[in-house]
Amino acid sequence: MSFDRYFIISMPTLNWIGKEAVVNHDKEVPFRLLRKVKSSSVGDNSQNLVIHGDNLEALKALMPYYIGKIKCIYIDPPYNTGNESWVYNDKVNSPKIKKWLGKVVGRESEDLCRHDKWLCMMYPRFKLLKDLLSDDGLIFVSIDDNEHCNLKQIMDEIFGSANFITSFIWNKKLTGGHDSKIVNVVHEYVVCYTKNIDGVSLINKISSGTEYPLFDDKSGQNFKWDSLWTVSHGYTKNCDYPIEAPDGTKVFPWMCHKDREKVKGRARWFWSLETYQKQKDSILVKKDKKDEWKVYKKVFGGSLIPPKSIFDKETVGGTSHGKEALEKIFGKVGVFDNPKSVELVKEIIKYATKNDSIIMDSFAGSGTTGHAVLDLNNEDGGNRKFILVEMEDKIVKDITAERIKRVININGYNNGFEYCELDKPLFDEHGQIEDTCEFNQFATYIYFTETQTNIDKNKIEKNFIGEHSDTEFYLIYKEKDKNILTKSFLSKLRKTENEKIVYADKNYLDEDVLLEYNITFKQIPYEVKVY
């Protein structure tokens, strides 16, 4: 490796063997379709995803759906410790990565040191992650001393040094290992960048850290959940009414007390029915550990301060807490080496997201990020969604997805996820569109390549797939009477003066007709952009 300084920007640029081959490799990765595996999924129509496949290809496949939409990315990539006995921690030596390096970098890949390999692997993945991140989003990367310096420099290059937030310190244990010869290392880093420093703000924490631990996006205040029922304020009939639970159950105030019969006819809600109607958005109805419905209201308070740059073991747990959580879920030890603490990831998500944000982890491993999202939603009534990507076959099925299933079942969470595999590339070796590609998949891809934005599936109307910057997009695909632009199709066009781009296999309209209707014809597959 060598360091070349370009004083035009006054920042060092990191060079290594193989960099030239991977700098723009993200553009060369084939776009693959995602195939839902229903038998491995939990629930229907969930927006949570667990994806099995190489994360480089998976990130590319997600681009049409999520470009610029991910509010928080947390990844725990290989630390590249040189410990080849643990393949997951050193994916640079896994057969899949070796094959990828040989194909992309070429013969010189055999001469790469482990740091070169790590940089080659991470660089194109960071480029795609940046594209998926929202303008006000944050990316957090767990790492230790082995690659901290290299990580910082390539993220400076990709995200921009001005968008560096900080390297959080995670105090993961009280003492170092027995093999510590000079210094007992008891910490790791969580390196944080944003896409646009001018538009980002971390979710503030309260000064006490415990009394009002939650944050309300609408009001911009911290809050806690407190019971809506009371028996000490005196019974009034207008404060005794049913509140409907998510499953339709009618919940009365006396049903929230541990001694139901004792307070029946005395318990009441804090609010009158009129107040409740006005404040419905600030209540939470959820089941307790006894599987009984309870009703809570938001109580605001606390003074706001920025988060500290240190994650304390006492607050977010350490290395042992991650193992203990996993062992409790699976009922055995040794399930996965060095899983992250759920509390650590929850704290990161709290810093970076709103209640309806999308969180991504493209090195999902044991599934801690998905677990953290589910727990946090249960605690504050949020509707955050997760996207997990894992490459290793056995890990994704037996640990990542299985953990999420068990967390949902054990805690009774009303949630699920779609399990997806990477399918065939959209374009085959002859440049033709893959036969298995469905209309909505193709429409999503075309709209994305034309606009660099996500499609609104709700606005798809037969052949009309969307509008952007005064241009309408149409797709004639998988029609019974062949995919041809004819005069009969003109009746399906919107009566506007906007430019209309129509994708089809053939065009039977004269140039003057195309001009009259302001149509630009693009032939499938030859004029479909390759992203």
Mean pLDDT confidence for 364-382: 93
Mean pLDDT confidence for 123-143: 96
Greater confidence, 111 or 82? 82
Angle between helices 114-132 and 95-104 (to 10 degrees): 80
Segment 35-60, tens digit of pLDDT = 999 999 998 778 999 999 999 999 99
pLDDT at 500 over 90: yes
pLDDT at 368 over 80: yes
pLDDT at 415 over 80: yes
What contacts 71, CB < 8 A, 6 or more positions away? 134, 136, 137, 138, 352, 353, 354, 357, 358, 359
Fold of domain 2-204+306-425: Rossmann fold (3.40.50)
Output the average pLDDT for the chain.
Answer: 87
Q: For residue 489, what pLDDT band results from cuts at 50, 70 and 90?
A: very high
Rounded CA separation 400/413 (Å): 17
What is the CA 354 to chain-centroid distance, rounded?
13
Q: Can you give the residue ranges of every domain in the chain? A: 2-204+306-425, 214-300, 439-523
DSSP secondary structure of 471-492: EEEEE--S-TT-SEE-GGGGGG
Rounded CA separation 199/128 (Å): 20
Rounded CA separation 366/344 (Å): 14
pLDDT at 398 over 90: yes
Rounded CA separation 467/93 (Å): 46
CA angle (500, 504, 509) in 5-degree steps: 70
Greater confidence, 115 or 374? 374
Q: What is the pLDDT of residue 522?
A: 97
Q: What is the pLDDT of residue 244?
A: 93
Closest CA to 348 of 308, 304, 383, 388: 308
The H or E element spanning position 418 is strand 418-425
What percent of the chain is predicted at pLDDT more than 90? 54
Closest CA to 94 of 111, 71, 114, 65: 114
Closest CA to 49 of 484, 493, 373, 453: 373
Cα-flanking dihedrals φ and ψ of residue 148, to 5°? Answer: -55, -45
Rounded CA separation 189/171 (Å): 9
What contacts 217, CB < 8 A, 6 or more positions away? 354, 355
Greater confidence, 260 or 89? 260
What is the SS3 assignment for 138?
A: strand
Which range, of 72-81, 168-177, 474-483, averages the lowest pLDDT?
Answer: 168-177
Query: Which two tokens mark 384?
Result: 């955050």
What is the CA 486 to chain-centroid distance, rounded?
42
Q: What is the pLDDT of residue 209?
A: 55
Segment 60-70, tens digit of pLDDT = 999 999 999 99
pLDDT at 511 over 80: yes
**SS3 readout for 245-261:** CCCCCEECHHHHCCCHH
Cα-flanking dihedrals φ and ψ of residue 384, to 5°? Answer: -65, 150
Distance linking the first and last C-alpha atoms of the chain:
31
Query: Which two tokens mark 442?
Result: 């193709």
Q: For residue 421, what pLDDT band results from cuts at 50, 70 and 90?
A: very high
Q: What is the pLDDT of residue 110?
A: 57
For strand 499-504 and strand 519-523, is the pairing parallel, antiparallel, or unpaired?
parallel
Mean pLDDT confidence for 140-149: 93
Q: State which amino acid sits at residue 149.
A: C
Q: Are 404 and 46 in contact (CB under 8 A)?
A: no
Segment 191-216, tens digit of pLDDT = 999 999 988 878 766 555 567 878 78
Closest CA to 326 of 315, 314, 342, 310: 342
The H or E element spanning position 61 is helix 55-66
The H or E element spanning position 126 is helix 114-132
Q: State which amino acid sits at residue 298.
A: K
Q: Are 348 and 140 in contact (CB under 8 A)?
A: yes
pLDDT at 97 over 90: no
By CB neighbour count within 10 A (0-12 exposed, 13-18 middle, 19+ buried), where does 288 fall?
Answer: exposed
pLDDT at 111 over 70: no
Q: What is the pLDDT of residue 86?
A: 39
By CB neighbour count within 10 A (0-12 exposed, 13-18 middle, 19+ buried), where does 38 fall?
Answer: exposed
Query: Which two tokens mark 11?
Result: 């920042």
What is the SS3 assignment for 382?
A: coil
Q: For residue 8, what pLDDT band results from cuts at 50, 70 and 90?
A: very low
CA angle (445, 451, 452) in 5-degree steps: 75
pLDDT at 281 over 70: yes
DSSP secondary structure of 197-243: GGG--PPPEESSSSSS-EEETTTTEEEEEEESEESSS---GGG---E
By CB neighbour count within 10 A (0-12 exposed, 13-18 middle, 19+ buried), where does 340 fall?
Answer: buried
Largest CA distance in the chain: 83
Q: For residue 260, what pLDDT band results from cuts at 50, 70 and 90?
A: confident
